[in-house]
Amino acid sequence: MIKINKAACVGGGVIGGGWIARFLLAGIDVDVFDPHPEAGRIVGEVIANAERAYAMLTGAPLPPRGKLTFCKTLEEAVVDADWIQESVPERLDLKRNVLMEIDAACRPDALIGSSTSGLLPSDLQRDMQFPERLFVAHPYNPVYLLPLVEIVGGEKTSHATIKAAIEKLPPIGMKGVHITKEIEAFVGDRLLEALWREALWLIHDDICSVETLDDVIRYSFGLRWAQMGLFQTYRIAGGEAGMRHFLAQFGPCLAWPWTKLTDVVDLDDALVEKIGQQSDEQADGLSIRDLERIRDENLAGILQALKAGNGGQGWGAGELLKDFEHSLWAGAKQTAPADHAVPLKLVEARVSPAWVDYNGHMTEHRYLQVFGDTTDALLRLIGADLAYVEAGHSYYTVETHIRHLGEAKLGQAISSACQLLSVDDKRLHIFHTMSDAISGETLATAEQMLLHVDSKAGKSSPAAPDVLAKARAIIEAHASLPLPDGAGRHVGQKPRVETA
Ligand SMILES: NC(=O)C1=CN([C@@H]2O[C@H](COP(=O)(O)OP(=O)(O)OC[C@H]3O[C@@H](n4cnc5c(N)ncnc54)[C@H](O)[C@@H]3O)[C@@H](O)[C@H]2O)C=CC1
Ligand SMILES: C[N+](C)(C)CC(=O)CC(=O)[O-]
């Protein structure tokens, strides 16, 4: 699979910022051109949101973040990029000019995607010298979490461009869907526009408020759509006879006066004010950034749930997330801490909202998750990585003892470090310490015993010599460290047997 090495984003607003975050968090360097005086701050806030969202979305090891560079000119930004994403405002004249500038300055083999929500690629590529490399790459907001990209070619777009564009999306966790006929607004925005038009009529005619309308969506079919879309949902709604019965029963309703879809509501001042006021009331003081964070938490939760769907194989966008995580594990390289003679700091994290329980601090199993991640990082460091596991060998944890010594609170930056206590052919005895990343206060410790296994044979076996050699090199470096406080401890209280 040919990955994107270097991306350029022209326009760094809502959508450009989302693309920038998507590329950076996939480990890709990004050069940005946006003349807005506050582009750096705006993009920085989107990236901060995206990092927070990824901490909730996945426990898989993300690659080191790509390098972000703001460029003074468009030419400078695109000159050595292999994927250029145009996300300037939705105006044909502006986009044509910007695309001509990109066309003149970029590499001949660069792919040029436009984020346009509805303009035809044939219109966009009209004035380009090399129009065969231009395509629509229409994403959904927030680009860093929603994986779909509608890929649409114009009359002059080459097949090779479309193929290459679709191939380059999975490594950044996205799914390209090729819309083979170019039409305005493609597929997604055609559907959204129909719903949006009808919604505006319902508010205009005082049938319901914006809040009631949103409730109708989010408590009902919105939940269904996230996992099965429209046709599969309606197939089920047809009962055992499926889609044909559904069409027979509900087809005639299409001719009834259920919708006003062909009419366009007049967005006059009164309607704009009415919607604006109701929307303000609905927000109840939450800022756009607050709402973005709530949205991201919810989306991460939905994607997580979909990953567990279909008997654990993943379903829809959850299956894509599962594949993306697999590729992250496969590509994960654990960089060795510079100093081996101290406990190895292997994990840095922030306590995410999904980790907090009714006591207002990190819930028990998340401590184990962080310690498990620390163990995984150690295993990668000594060569027991995904390739090793897929070849039929692994370490299984056979015992864990956790001590909770402090409270990890929402948003707190934490780190976890590992000290090796002993190593032999089959066993790894390790001790992790979780600390506040700033004060260094110890929050929890975990002592673990791991057993090396031949997972195909289903029994313990000696570890590979190179894995053992790396583990032994660390233990030699740790030999001068004192035994950590709490090592060898067990639950002190003697169990009492009540007698009648
Ligand atoms: N906002 C949304 O929900 C979605 C928008 N899109 C599409 O993405 C594109 C951008 O939309 P938004 O990000 O919402 O707009 P935006 O207004 O948030 O951002 C546009 C950015 O382009 C910059 N810009 C203006 N002229 C420029 C130039 N000559 N060179 C470089 N940068 C320039 C502006 O400073 C601004 O930061 C549009 O084509 C839109 O249809 C696609 C999917 C969803
Ligand atoms: C409103 N919009 C047309 C810009 C929306 C989109 O293009 C896609 C989305 O994210 O809803």
pLDDT in tens, 435-446: 999 999 999 999
What homologous superfamily is domain 189-285 in, according to CATH?
N-(1-d-carboxylethyl)-l-norvaline Dehydrogenase; domain 2 (1.10.1040.10)
Q: Give the per-residue pLDDT at 145.
A: 98
Q: Is 117 in the pocket of ligand 1 (CB under 6 A)?
A: yes
Residue set of the binding site for NAD(+): 11-16
Ligand 2 centroid – CA 189 distance (Å): 6
Reported as a single tens digit per residue, the pLDDT across 102-159 is 999 999 999 999 999 999 999 999 999 999 999 999 999 999 999 999 999 999 999 9
Q: Rounded to 5 degrees, what angle do the CA atoms 212, 218, 220 make?
A: 100
Q: Is 334-478 in CATH node 3.40.50.300? A: no
Query: Which atom number of ligand 2 is nearest to the Cα of residue 141?
Result: 10
For residue 11, the ligand closest to its alpha carbon is: 1
- The gap between the terminal CA atoms of the chain, to the nearest Å, is 69
Stretch among 18-27, 56-65, 250-259 having the lowest mean pLDDT: 250-259
Q: Give the per-residue pLDDT at 340.
A: 77
Q: Give the per-residue pLDDT at 341.
A: 87
Q: Give the per-residue pLDDT at 1.
A: 57
For residue 86, the ligand closest to its alpha carbon is: 1
Rounded to an integer, the average pLDDT of 171-193 is 97
Q: Give the per-residue pLDDT at 267.
A: 95
Bridge-partner residues for 361, per DSSP?
Answer: 409
For the chain, give me the number of helices (H) and strands (E)?
A: 17, 14
Beta strands in 356-412 (DSSP E): 393-404
Q: Give the per-residue pLDDT at 500.
A: 65
Ligand 1 centroid – CA 34 distance (Å): 10
Atom 23 of ligand 1, nearest CA residue: 11
Residue set of the binding site: 11-16
Q: Tokens 């709530």: give the residue.
A: 294
Stretch among 1-10, 38-47, 107-116, 199-208 having the lowest mean pLDDT: 1-10
What distance in Å separates the CA atoms of residue 247 and residue 250, rounded to the nearest whole number?
A: 5
Of 14, 141, 146, 200, the one to substitute when testing ligand 2's pocket (max ligand atoms within 8 A of C-beta) is 141
pLDDT category at 449 given cuts 50, 70, 90 is: very high
Beta-carbon neighbour count of residue 301 at 10 Å?
A: 14
Which CATH number applies to 6-186: 2.30.140.10, 3.40.50.720, 3.30.1360.120, 3.40.50.1110?
Answer: 3.40.50.720
pTM (predicted TM-score): 0.91
Task: Write phi, then psi, for 287 (nearest 5 degrees).
Answer: -80, 170
Reported as a single tens digit per residue, the pLDDT across 241-296 is 999 999 999 999 888 888 777 788 999 999 999 999 999 999 999 999 999 999 99
Rounded to an integer, the average pLDDT of 233-242 is 95
Q: Rounded to 5 degrees, what angle do the CA atoms 398, 404, 406 make?
A: 150
Strand order in the sheet with 111-114: 68-70, 29-33, 6-10, 83-86, 111-114, 134-138, 148-153, 175-178
Ligand 1 centroid – CA 84 distance (Å): 14
- In contact, 308 and 319? CB cutoff 8 Å: no
Q: Is 14 in the pocket of ligand 1 (CB under 6 A)?
A: yes
Q: What is the ipTM metric for this complex?
A: 0.98
- In contact, 462 and 426? CB cutoff 8 Å: yes
Atom 9 of ligand 2, nearest CA residue: 140
Q: Give the per-residue pLDDT at 82.
A: 97
Query: Which atom number of ligand 1 is nearest to the Cα of residue 116?
Result: 39
Of 34, 93, 141, 149, the one to substitute when testing ligand 1's pocket (max ligand atoms within 8 A of C-beta) is 34
In sequence order, which ranges of 238-354 are alpha helices (DSSP H)? 242-250, 269-283, 288-307, 317-331
Ligand 2 centroid – CA 176 distance (Å): 16
Q: Which residues in the chain are classed under CATH 3.10.129.10? A: 334-478
DSSP 310: T
DSSP 422: E
For residue 113, the ligand closest to its alpha carbon is: 1
Q: Is 116 in the pocket of ligand 1 (CB under 6 A)?
A: yes
DSSP for 442-484, written as a single string: EEEEEEEEEEEEETTTTEE-PPPHHHHHHHHHHHHHHTTSPPP
Query: Which atom number of ligand 2 is nearest to the Cα of residue 138?
Result: 7
Mean pLDDT of the chain: 95
- Is 112 buried (19+), middle (13-18) or exposed (0-12) by CB count in 10 A? buried
Q: Which residues in the chain are classed under CATH 3.40.50.720? A: 6-186
3-class DSSP assignment, residue 297 = helix
Bridge-partner residues for 151, per DSSP?
Answer: 137, 178
